[in-house]
Amino acid sequence: MRDYELVVIISPEVAEEEIPGALEKIGRFITERGGSISEVNQWGRRRLAYPIKNFMEGNYVLTQFKMEPGLTADLEASLGISEEILRHLLVRLGD
């Protein structure tokens, strides 16, 4: 298993009380496939540097986790089709 960091920008249309539900979907995806989440940091609502899907702000969340490398493509595909998530960045940590 490898260490990864995932930053997602959640749409400002998602209510504050619904954000944990969106994060739960990501967490469930990772844990159901044998991964483990070590940390989730909600950075809160921030202004975007440029418009994404006509939004000028979004809710940033950083997640650190371990997962098998072969499953990252599936994770990115599911994040890409999610309507709640404006943008994501998945980075492999370490060497």
Range 2-87 has CATH code 3.40.50.300: no
d(CA 29, CA 46): 26
**Mean pLDDT across the stretch 22-44?**
92
- Confidence band (pLDDT; 50, 70, 90) for 94? confident
Helix axes of 19-32 and 72-81: crossing angle, nearest 10 degrees? 150
Per-residue DSSP letter, 30: H
**Mean pLDDT across the stretch 6-19?**
93
Q: Is the pLDDT at 95 greater than 80, yes or no?
A: no
With pLDDT > 90 as the criterion, what percentage of the chain qualifies? 86
**Mean pLDDT across the stretch 12-16?**
91
Give the ranges where 13-88 is alpha helix by DSSP (H).
19-32, 72-81
| pLDDT value, residue 61 | 95
